[in-house]
Amino acid sequence: MSRIQYPTNLRVIRVMCSGRVDPSVVLGILADGADGVMITGCHIGDCHYIDGNLQAKRKYELTRRLVEKSGLSPKRLRLEWVSASEGQRFADLVVEFIEQVREVGPSPLAGESPDPMLSLSIQAARAASERFRLRAMVGKEEKMVTEGNVYGEQMTQEEFDEEMNAAMESEYARNLIHLAIKREPSSVKALAEQLGIGSAEVLGHVVAMRQLGWVDVKEIRGSSPVYMDVEVSQ
C-alpha cells in the first residue's frame, strides 16, 4: 500500500506458510539456474499457523548446508522474517539480497551449458533432501531439541547438529555417487577420482546401494567391477 519502490528482478511465489517450503523444491529451483532464492515468513512468535516458521527455520538450515556441500555459494540463499506491515524492511531486504547475489555473479547452472560437476552435485543435494533419513531428522529436530522424544531422550542443539552433519555428509555422498553412476557406469576407483571421495568410502556406499537395489554390477573391466544404475520403481 505504501508503494515503496524496490528492484524489478524479484519474482514472488505465494505459499500458505514459510513452513510449506520443502528443501527439495528450493534445491530444484537453484538447480534450474536461479541466481538466488529468498524465503520470507512471519516473525518467530507471530506465525499465523502457530509455529510453521519454526519448521521453516529448521528446513532452511538443512537446505543451506546442502547448498554449501554442493559447491554452490550459500549466498544465493536467504531466510528472512518480514511482517505484512514492514514494507520498507521488505524493500530494503530485496535490495540487500540482490546486491548479495550480484557479488556472487550469475548462477553457473543457468544458461545453455551449466557447469556439469556443479549440476551433478546440486542434483545430489536435492536427491539427499528427498530421501527419508534427512527429512525424518529435520522433522523430529524441534521436538528432540526442546522436549525430547517419547522415550524421554533429549539432545542439545550441538549434539543434534553433529548427528545431522554426519547424516548429511553420508546422504550427500551416496546420492552423488548414485547420480554419477547413473550418468555413466563406473568403477569405485573411477568414482573416487572423479568425485574427490576416498575409495573406501565410495565402496561403502556402493555396497549399501547394491543392497538397497539402487545399483548393480554391469560388467567386470580388468579386475574392477563397473556399477550401473538399476531403475527403481518408487
Name the site residues for another protein (rule: CB under 8 A).
1, 3-6, 8, 11-17, 19-25, 28-29, 32-34, 43, 45-52, 55, 59, 84-85, 91, 110, 130, 132-133, 135-136, 138-140, 142-143
> CB of 72: closest distance to another protein in angstroms?
15
What is 161-188 written as a DSSP string? HHHHHHHHHHHHHHHHHHHHHHHS-B-H
Taking the least distance from each CB to another protein, the nearer of 58 and 205 is: 58
User: What's the CA gap between 40 and 79, in Å, rounded?
Assistant: 6
> CB of 225: closest distance to another protein in angstroms?
31
User: What's the CA gap between 209 and 214, in Å, rounded?
Assistant: 5
Q: Which helix (H) or strand (E) holds 217?
A: strand 215-221
Taking the least distance from each CB to another protein, the nearer of 129 and 187 is: 129
Taking the least distance from each CB to another protein, the nearer of 57 and 180 is: 57
Taking the least distance from each CB to another protein, the nearer of 33 and 74 is: 33
The sign of the CA dihedral 5, 98, 114, 71 is negative
> CB of 233: closest distance to another protein in angstroms?
13
> CB of 227: closest distance to another protein in angstroms?
26
User: What's the CA gap between 103 and 11, in Å, rounded?
Assistant: 19
Residue carrying C-alpha cell 522436549 = 147
Are 104 and 76 in contact by the 8 Å Cβ rule? The answer is yes
> CB of 140: closest distance to another protein in angstroms?
7
Taking the least distance from each CB to another protein, the nearer of 76 and 195 is: 76
